[in-house]
Amino acid sequence: MTRELSTAPVLPAGAIAGSPQPELAAVGGLVLRPWADADVPVFLTAYQDPAIRRWHTRRPASEDAVRAWFDGYRRDWERERGGHWAVVAPGTGEVLGRIALRGMDFDDGLADCAYWVLPAARGARVASRALTALTAWALDDIGFHRLELDHSTRNEASCRVALASGYAWEGTKRSAALHGDGRHDMHLHARVREDAGRFGPPSAASAS
């Protein structure tokens, strides 16, 4: 059934699918690039990390499962549903983490962000630098209006990343996600186009 809109879509069909998924540059030489088949082992290993497992209940069980995920990532781009990037180190190309823009809604100009960082790369602002670069691309280059991210209220590291990247805390979604240890309340953060250029974080106290 065709959806009839009373307003024009924020983004036209073909806004991203007409071009290959880009590589994006982040502060400090980090590069965001599409996942490649050579990344399968490190991607699988990432989900053995206790912290990543704690906050990501959906995880691949084998290298074949990772390859299926990567195929899905490519289809997401072609269908304009999402974009998924490896975050890699300058020079070496070592995979440091993952960042994604999911649930793309071109009618309203919305999408949500997700990320993780491998243990050896934590504490170097990898996630916040990658998120800042992805945000600038999505809002300024592509024309999304609003980007959201959420995380368990118990995940203080993810909250710090969101605030450091200018994602204002908007409230708490009660009992919104099921984790391995039960249901969690979730903090909701967002950036909108009117925030463009205002990369300073809101007061961390406002999210407590």
Output the pLDDT for position 194: 87
208 pLDDT band, cuts 50/70/90, is very low
- Residue by residue, DSSP assigns 14-78 as TTTTTSPPPPEE-GGG-EEEE--GGGHHHHHHHTTSHHHHHH-----SSHHHHHHHHHHHHHHHH
Is residue 205 in some structural domain?
A: no
Is residue 171 in some structural domain?
A: yes
Is residue 162 in some structural domain?
A: yes
Residue 60's nearest CA partner among 44, 36, 81 is: 44
CATH number for position 171: 3.40.630.30
Phi and psi (nearest 5°) for 140?
-90, -45
Output the pLDDT for position 77: 97
Q: Which two tokens stand for residue 199?
A: 């990369």
Output the pLDDT for position 197: 53
Is residue 18 in some structural domain?
A: no
Output the pLDDT for position 2: 56
Residue 57 has pLDDT above 90, yes or no: no
Gap between the Cα atoms of 64 and 68, Å rounded: 6
Is residue 176 in some structural domain?
A: yes
User: In the sheet where 182-192 sits, what is the strand order?
Assistant: 24-25, 31-34, 83-88, 95-105, 110-117, 146-152, 182-192, 168-179
When pLDDT is averaged across residues 100-127 and rounded to a whole number, the result is 97
CB count in 10 Å sphere of residue 102? 15
Output the pLDDT for position 200: 42
When pLDDT is averaged across residues 20-32 and rounded to a whole number, the result is 97
Output the pLDDT for position 5: 66
Range of the domain at 32: 24-195
Is residue 77 in some structural domain?
A: yes
Number of domains composing the chain: 1
Is residue 13 in some structural domain?
A: no
The average confidence (pLDDT) of the chain is 92
Is residue 6 in some structural domain?
A: no
Output the pLDDT for position 204: 37
Output the pLDDT for position 7: 87
Question: Tens digit of pLDDT for each residue in 115-167?
Answer: 999 999 999 999 999 999 999 999 999 999 999 999 999 999 999 999 999 99
